[in-house]
């Protein structure tokens, strides 16, 4: 699994000009799932994300986690995170998992985030044409991939 995590002061996602998910202070997470990703990957990522110390403490030092600041999460599926761009100019998405694998694993990941953060997670709509808006706070943007967890 590959994620792009952005610390935000506000984020939302629209489908058909209707807001379907929105948060204030917290994390907006773009989620890409590969064919060989597993529930263990989702569990590892969720714990890591919820405990990353990327929020400022009283001294302005990134020393607090999402849990410490009672931050919210907006998680959005994005298969294009697994684009292969070595050949030609058209990205290949062959590594991205098909919906029969990615939908249940994405939902499991969202469920894990809710469990680990003890908070409802806002989401986009899997497979929909979405418009995402955010105010990146910092900016703080982190890319994580479960293939690089060691």
The residues carrying an active-site annotation are 80
Inter-residue contact 50 to 20 (CB < 8 Å): no
């Amino acid at each position: 699994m590959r994620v792009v995590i952005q610390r935000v002061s506000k984020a939302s996602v629209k489908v058909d000009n209707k807001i379907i998910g929105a948060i204030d202070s917290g994390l907006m997470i773009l989620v890409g799932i590969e064919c060989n990703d597993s529930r263990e990957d989702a569990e590892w990522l969720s714990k890591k994300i919820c405990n990353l110390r990327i929020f400022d403490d009283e001294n302005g030092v990134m020393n607090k986690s999402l849990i410490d600041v009672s931050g919210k999460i907006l998680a959005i599926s994005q298969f294009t995170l697994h684009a292969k761009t070595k050949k030609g100019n058209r990205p290949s998405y062959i590594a991205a998992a098909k919906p029969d694998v990615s939908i249940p694993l994405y939902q499991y990941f969202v469920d894990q985030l809710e469990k680990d953060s003890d908070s409802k997670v806002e989401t986009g709509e899997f497979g929909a044409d979405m418009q995402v808006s955010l105010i990146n706070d910092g900016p703080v943007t982190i890319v994580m991939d479960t293939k690089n967890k060691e």
